[in-house]
Amino acid sequence: MASAKGGHLQIALDAIERFQSSETIDGLNAAVSSSIAAFGYRYHCFASAQTPQRRMLDQRKLLISWPQDWYLQYGQCKFVEHDVVASSFRTKVHSFRWSDLHYQTAASRRVMQIASDDFSMKKGFAVPVFGLNGYEAGLSVAGPDVDDSKEANSAVELMAIYAFNQLTKIKNRRPDAASVLSPREREIMQWVAAGKTTWDIGAILHISSDTVNKTIGSAMRRLEVHTRAQAVSEALRRREIEI
Amino acid sequence: MIRVIDKTNFHRFPRTMDQLFRVRHAVFVEEKGWKEFERDGIFEKDQYDTEDAIYVVALDDQGDAIGCFRLYPTVLPHMISEVFPNMVDGGVLCRPDVLELTRFHLCKPKRHSSEYLELLTAIPEVGLELGLSGFTAIVRTLRIPVMQAAGLSITPTGLPVTIDGESHVSVLFEVSENCLARINKTRGSTLSVFEHNLPRRVRA
């Protein structure tokens, strides 16, 4: 994947332009995929920082294009606990190649081996993004045969930064429709989205399970859905609640 | 509070001028280790600290300098054109409505404060006041998201390169009313960050 130096910058600038015209998260995700493909990267994962409340990838993923089987295995086998790339984002304070890291445990080496042998993630590069509150998110890109020259890596750094910027803009856009849920309905749906049962929510808010169920029922009617899962989904989509 | 000092008014602020070069010494020579800029152990100055420079100085509640950034004409030989031209793709920008922005800093205790946002706000405010279209600068690549989160619009003008172990990139800061509006929204105020009684600026 040889490119002239001027070519690397132009690839980055073209990518930035594509990101800035993406209006949806799905559109931005596709733009990231096509942009990193210029350097041979096939997969990407942009995830927010790990916190004590959010460790698993499915709670933190922002923009992702991973083989389905790898994603499932990563979650089921809790690879995040042995993934040196994931844990290095916060400590590295600059971009790094996967090959720059030290894999000290057998488990961490095994994770990388599976990624490489089973899913063609032979080479990877990672860019941490620091915002106003410190480390916020990290982009990891991988592929079988990539251009990981200094120039290509610099271009990917820029791509990570501008993709994150656009993602923030998309998420901050307020929906046109006014809120349909009452504050109480929104509050209870927030707990439902967090995985709490009716009984839990009643205990947390000091109200009866009956009241919880009735409130969820009225939320479902206002959101025009038939199940709690749909209610969570719809409430998230309308930005009534966030996770 | 922000004070803008140039050749038309520097004689009014001798204390600020003295303080700003001391703070620069503390930040760039002592803290960042830029030993090549050590001259007298007191002030940090280089060949672009001339009467053509404009200093946008952040002052604390007591009126003492806690940081600043420097602006310099791109139509004169400047840092990017003389020291880092290789970082800019397609030729260094030299225009009367574009100034080079260098030495952006705040002293350590003030880096995560409202004064940081004020100094960032000064970028589009000064730009609009002076009738500029933008500022060129070399910045640490991984600082860009922080500045974007505040509301600044930044365009890379070259690929990042590693300088002293850190990724740096040449950029153009946009100057616009929208940019100022976004930063004001971030800091929750539409008041000017400049001190009152600012003398009328001569347009660049």
Q: Where are the domains of chain B?
A: 2-187
Local confidence band at A178 (pLDDT 50, 70, 90 cut-offs): low
- H-only helix segments in chain B: 14-24, 79-82, 114-129, 144-150, 177-187
**Fold of the CATH domain A183-237:** Arc Repressor Mutant, subunit A (1.10.10)
Q: How confident is the model at residue A224 (pLDDT cuts 50, 70, 90)?
A: confident
Reported pTM: 0.80
Q: What kind of fold does domain B2-187 have according to CATH?
A: Aminopeptidase (3.40.630)
Query: Using CA atoms, how far apart are residues A185 and A240, in angstroms rounded to an integer?
Result: 10
CATH 1.10.10.10 residue spans of chain A? 183-237
Which residues in chain B have their CB less than 8 angstroms from residue A128's CB?
142
Distance from CA of B150 to the nearest CA of A (A): 8
CA atoms within 13 A on the CB side of A19: 24
Percent of chain A, pLDDT > 90?
69
> At residue A2, does pLDDT exceed 50?
no
| Closest approach of B123 to chain A, Cα-based (Å) | 17
Indicate which of A92, A165, A168, A170 best probes the interface with B, i.e. most B CBs within 10 Å of its own CB. A165
Least confident of A155-164, A216-225, B19-28, B68-77: A216-225
ipTM above 0.95, yes or no: no
Task: Collect all residues of chain B within an 8 Å Cβ-Cβ radius of residue A6.
Answer: 89
Mean pLDDT computed over A196-211? 90
- Cβ-contact A15, A39 below 8 angstroms: no
Distance, in Å, from the CA atom of A57 to the CA atom of A111, rounded to the nearest integer, reads: 15
pLDDT classification of A1: cutoffs 50, 70, 90: very low
* CA separation for the pair B142, A89 (Å, rounded): 13
pLDDT band of A6, cuts 50, 70, 90: low
Closest CA to A166 of A26, A36, A60, A57: A26
Which residues does chain A have within 8 Å of residue B143's beta carbon, measured at their own beta carbons?
130
pLDDT tens digits along A230-241:
899 888 877 788
DSSP H helical ranges for B71-170: 79-82, 114-129, 144-150
The pLDDT of A154-165, averaged and rounded, is 97
Measured CA to CA, the distance from residue B121 to residue B111 in angstroms comes to 14
Q: Which residues of chain B are under the pLDDT cut of 70?
A: 196-204
Between A177 and A95, whose confidence is greater? Answer: A95
Enter the CATH code of domain A5-172: 3.30.450.80
